[in-house]
Structure 1
């Protein structure tokens, strides 16, 4: 999995990079088909904003979150991304659909 972390009007420290990478490991366990993730960090006045673009096999996901500090925003983002990946995994697993059962009469 490729991970790219960038900052807009914000210097990304090594501590924030390692924190985001550690949080992303949980999502990587749920989705083996995770190809790349691009995380963009920005600060707008007093609000910290985090966006993630995840590229899975057959699907691109975009998730964003805001918070009072950068670590809280990363936590919210990873929770949202985890739910989105699990939802995609459920949908993609049911490719053929379930067959309706035929009642014996």
Structure 2
């Protein structure tokens, strides 16, 4: 898995990097076929009172790219919201990949044919 963590108008400190890594562990625990992860942490400098912290992630899995973004006044809160959204999308993608329309064991005989 390739991981890129970058900041826009922000220096990515080791504490921020470690926080993102610990949160990403939850996502990779649910789905291990992650190819590439790009995380972008941004501080939008609007007015002094309206500073917005924004976190974005692009997750490249086999066959699909998943993009999620979240904004908050606190960067750590934005990362938490981001990982919650990403976790839901990854679990949904994993469910779609699984074939839920297989033949049940009751419907097949011992020779392997369908009854």
Gaps of 5+ in 1: 100-105
Matched, 1:21 2:21: yes
Residue matched to 2:72: 67
Following TM superposition, by how much is the alpha carbon of 1:97 offset from its aligned partner in structure 2, in angstroms?
3.4
Alignment of 1:32-47 (within 5 A): 32-45=32-45, 46-47=51-52
Match among 93, 97, 104 for residue 101 of structure 2: 97
- In the alignment, structure 2 segments of 5+ residues that lack a partner are 46-50, 104-115
Q: TM-score, normalised by structure 2?
A: 0.81
1:58, distance to aligned residue in structure 2 (A): 1.1
Runs of 4+ in 1 over 2 A off after TM superposition: 96-99
1:85 pairs, out of 90, 101, 104, with 90
Query: Partner residue of 1:76?
Result: 81
Larger radius of gyration: 2
Structure 2 counterpart SS, 1:32: coil
Partner of 1:56: 61
Q: Deviation at 1:35?
A: 1.1
